[in-house]
Structure 1
Amino acid sequence: MIRTLTIWLLHCFVFGLGLLTVQAHTHPPEKAAELAVSAAFDTQGSLWVVGSHRPGELYLQRVLEQGKPLNEPKRIIKLSGDRVSASGENRPKIKFGPKGQLLISYTKPLSRPYTGEIRMIRSVDGGMSFSQPFTVHQDRQEITHRFESIIFDHQGVLHTFWIDKRDQELIRRSKNLNHRDLAKHYRGAAIYRNESMDAGLSFGPDIKVADHSCECCRIALTLDNKGKPVAMWRHVFEPNFRDHALWRFAAPESMQRASQDQWQLDACPHHGPSIAPASDGGFHALWYGERDGRATVRYGRLNAEGSALGTPIELPDANAEHADIFRQASMLFVTWQFFDGKRSVWKAWVSDDEGKQFNTRVLGVHAGKHDYPLIVGSPSDGVWGIWNTDQGLRLLRLDP
């Protein structure tokens, strides 16, 4: 069964003011807001969405409460002048801590191209007020710190991962290299991470995860069967294969190669992976890559260490893109979009046997602008597909 809901923002209401200004959306935006959003369930069963509003502003909206649609207005959060990268796979992220803390992260672009800082704001009153924005990493060079992803583990530790070019910059300066020659000495960027033991009040040191990541693809995060973080990203393997790597907190020194497409490419395809834990301790994964001359999204199984199991299968649409995956019990959900020549089509695979067989569903079509589709879920409040369009936010319940 699929239940459809499109959120229309018609009501106005005034919310309390915090350290940052948080208010209702009371007039049309001066220009169209970016459509890139993220979503998360809180500890009370409400689904929240965050996205970019005007320059220097985010919006926060509660759209579901225990599976029932809400028509609440957007809460506008002013970021003290910070701009927000909210296009392509870069977007603000939202997570809820074990005690209801609300964390929103984003990349703040700096003056030089492709540079940025990972910023965060924090609320302890359900989004009524927020802290001032703060930078989460210790390195403050005007270089790439971008494409952050965040996750809480089962012990309540906040983990932040991002793409970082400090090591590339060090080589560039030490050898006085131009951009073209730099690629011969250091391909791609690096993945860095840190930890916060107090839900974003303070952060530990920057820790390098791996050298030679792709520069502009999202980092996928999930938790293993012990509640510890697992990261998957596009990686530049020797000599120049842009496949995917998997890293586990449980084995931080042993990055694994997760895909074997052997895609030789001298550029970033701007198309990151997605990952979900499997019931047997391994993982379900989606990635985009070229194999045997066919560039498309593939689904594959990984073992508990992150290595590929068997041969991956292609999604049913050859031009599928920016797919997302989610598992709940024996149900496995995959969503993607593709362009049919006239309009974009939103589809899903749904499996009740954890990926042995899939049923394909058409969830929607749209001829205008839109974001990439997402899946979010909780054991008590269902599994929902999300597709943000210039005509409103579409929510579809995917589980029975």
Structure 2
Amino acid sequence: MRHLLIAVLCLLPLSAFAHDGMHMDMPKGPELGASAAFDSQGRPHVVDAADGHVRLRHSDDDGRTLSAPVEVNATAERIYAEGENRPKLAFGPHDEIYVSWSYRAPRRGPASCASPARWTAGEHFSAPLTVHHDRAEITHRFDALAVDGAGRIVIAWIDKRDLIAADAAGKPYLGAAIYYSWSDDGGASFVPERKLIDQSCECCRIALARTPDGEVAAFFRGIYGDNIRDHAYAVLRTDGQSSRVERATFSDWHIAGCPHHGPGLAIGADGVRHAVWYEASHGPAIWYGQLDPGQRPRQLLKLAGAGASHADVAASGRTVGGVEPGRCSRLSPGAATLRRRRRAFRRGPGDRQQHRCGRFAAAVAEAWPPLRGMEHRGRLSADPGDTMKRLLLALALLSPLLAIAGTLQPLAAGDVAALAKPPPHGERIIAMWALDCAYCEPNLEALATLQRAHPRDIESAIVTTDSIAQRRAIETRLRHMKMDGYPNRAYAEATPERLNFLLDPTWAARTPRVLVIRADGSRLGISGELTPTQLRKIR
């Protein structure tokens, strides 16, 4: 009899910068983020979220159809289900199914957040059990899930307890820490969490992969010096020894902001660490490289530029496949060559969409919302006749300025043209921000000061990349920042990446972001916390 165990990692209030009264309205219908994995029999399983519930489904026909959803959590919760922070899925050595997710709890609620439960086919899930032992009402989110060679359930997450402590002591602290824990008893209990590193990026997902000797390795965005956002690699030790963290990328990308782009990692049977990541030191770019922790990556290859986002990678034997929304890639072993084909979606009245890219196949279940989530399976081979077994690439995606001041308005794709239209004279400044962005408030304050100094020459609009479904939390934050008197918009599209691209094709969702549109049609885009020099460029 097969059992299903689940682990929920809780994001309590948004971040260390969240405020009392913040609230997230329960979303209706399926959300964007989803993950997929294949069991030992080759059956694909998918987890996503809808109406406050994490849903598990499987397919018996290679993804052409999906089973009826099974609700993993009996009680509806405010679940994160987006590209960087979505429900996760992994299998144990005997096809045990593990699911993890982050959810946002009210400040008045309990600090119990992570819950493994046991399910037997035809019965129900057991009650939740907390993974992290810290009960403070702070951020624990961006969970990553894996199962090691011994069957241990390993979960890593971003945690702001050390930031809170540093702030209380008046000490500087950039970003957040990464903690991890594991279960030796099939999810019945988790050991007290261990800190992996201080001062990692607070808004980018963590990539986990199993090494050839069965350990779990992590690849994540760290912070070096004064907000250099490069990546680090570490094996998550479960034997009592300390984990060694080493820098693994050296782009020297400096940004006092939230990239919102975590990396991907796949480790081949030969031990080669295949990785993909995003950086923008010389313009937005997705890179592939073979990690050599402590040294620059080998076989470095730029896969994509502006508009590319949320890449992931998978490996089987000597074959490697990479995907980012809009493109698929097959990397030839031993050669820095790339075969890339654009993905073509067929949108019809049916309840599913398919695309093929090279010999990758992907299925997106349910036509609404579009591109809610996808599962990828490859049947690629490095040599003829050498069939790739169970290659998994689990990746989740994939109006105008005259809005009434003081009232939060939705921003849909059809509203962008009017919002981004050049003004009759002077400049229009569109300030993009997010609830979980620690760097956004200083930017908004600086731009408000600039606009007050030039009221006849500067038009201002404020856009949050958070969903309009979070209206109460957004409005509370705007009032706290004293920005509620400006025209304010919130995303109202099922696919946020679409709005990102329409607003600014070179943006890639980094926050804070300032888009300056001048009367002559010229544009200036700036990511990160504004410096005095950048403010002078704006005006």
Q: TM-score, normalised by structure 1?
A: 0.77
Distance 1:376 1:174, change over 3 A: farther
Based on CA coordinates, which of the two structures has the bigger radius of gyration?
Answer: 2
2:291 pairs with one of 296, 302, 315: 302
Amino acid at match of 1:75: V
| Change beyond 3 A, Cα 1:269–1:64 | farther
One of 230, 250, 265 as aligned partner of 1:243:
230
- 8 Å CA contact 1:36, 1:371 repeated in 2: yes
Letter in 2 for 1:302: L
Match of 1:14 in 2: none
Shift in Å at residue 102 of structure 1?
1.9
The structure whose residues are more often strand, as a share, is 1
Q: Aligned equivalents of 2:112 and 2:335: distance in 1? A: 38
Q: Give the conservation status (yes or no) of the 8 Å contact 2:285–2:304.
A: no
In 2 relative to 1, CA 357–118 (structure 1 residues): closer, same or farther, beyond 3 Å?
Answer: farther
Q: CA deviation at 1:360?
A: 0.9
The 1-side partners of 2:373 and 2:294 are apart by: 26
| Structure-2 residue corresponding to 1:256 | 246
**1:315 CA displacement:** 1.2
Gaps of 5+ in 1: 1-17, 21-28, 176-181, 338-345, 392-400
Report the counterpart of residue 359 of structure 1 in structure 2.
339
Q: 1:309 to 1:268 in 2, by over 3 A?
A: same
Alignment of 1:1-400 (within 5 A): 31-55=28-52, 57-64=53-60, 67=62, 69-111=64-106, 118-126=113-121, 129-175=124-170, 185-249=172-236, 252-291=242-281, 293-303=282-292, 305=293, 307-310=295-298, 312-337=300-325, 346-353=326-333, 356-365=336-345, 369-371=370-372, 375=376, 380-383=389-392
Task: Sort the Cα spacing of 1:377 and 1:126 in 2 relative to 1 into closer, same or farther, 3 A.
Answer: farther
Change (3 A) 1:19 1:137: closer
Q: Secondary structure of the equivalent of 2:167?
A: helix
Rounded Cα–Cα distance in structure 2 between residues aligned with 1:235 and 1:333? 25
Could you say what secondary structure the match of 1:308 adopts? coil
The amino acid that maps onto 2:57 is: Q
Call closer, same or farther: CA 1:126–1:357 in 2, change over 3 Å: farther
- Structure with bigger helix share is 2
User: Is the 8 Å Cα contact of residues 274 and 290 (structure 2) preserved in structure 1?
Assistant: yes
Contact 1:231 1:248 in 2 (8 A): yes
Instruction: List per-residue Cα deviations over 1:221-261 (Å, max 9, x = no partner).
Output: 00112111100111111122011111113684421111111
Contact 2:209 2:218 (8 Å CA) reproduced = yes
Does the CA-based 8 Å contact 1:93-1:104 persist in structure 2? yes
- Residues 352 and 295 from structure 1, CA distance in 2 versus in 1: closer, same or farther, beyond 3 angstroms? closer
Measure, in 1, the Cα distance between the counterparts of 2:247 and 2:182. 24
For 1:71-91, what per-residue CA distance to the aligned partner results, in whole angstroms no more than 9, with x for missing partners? 422223443243211124111
Q: CA deviation at 1:358?
A: 2.3
Matched AA of 2:287 = R
Q: Find the residue that maps to 1:137 and give its secondary structure.
A: coil
Could you tell me how far apart the structure 2 residues matched to 1:268 and 1:213 are? 11
Change beyond 3 A, Cα 1:257–1:376? farther
Distance apart, 1:374 and its partner CA: 5.5
For 1:311 and 1:381, how far apart are their aligned partners in 2?
25
* Paired residue secondary structure (2:90): strand
Distance 2:151 2:82 in 1: 30
Letter in 1 for 2:54: L
Post-superposition shift, 1:363?
A: 2.8
Letter matched to residue 297 of structure 2: L
Shifted more, 314-323 versus 163-172: the winner is: 314-323
Aligned length in residues: 345
1:272-310 alpha-carbon deviations (Å, 9 max, x no partner): 00011145423111111123x21211111112x463334
SS in 1 for 2:166: helix
How far residue 99 of structure 1 moved from its aligned partner, in angstroms, is 2.7
Closer, same or farther: CA 108–239 of 1 in aligned 2, 3 Å = same
SS of the aligned residue for 1:241 comes to coil
* Residues 138, 78 of structure 1: alpha-carbon distance in 2 compared, 3 angstrom cutoff: closer
The alpha-carbon distance between structure 1 residues 278 and 348, as it changes in their structure 2 partners (threshold 3 A), is same
CA contact (8 A) 2:35 2:396 kept: no
Matched with 1:397 is: none
Whole-angstrom CA distance in 2 between matches of 1:84 and 1:44? 30
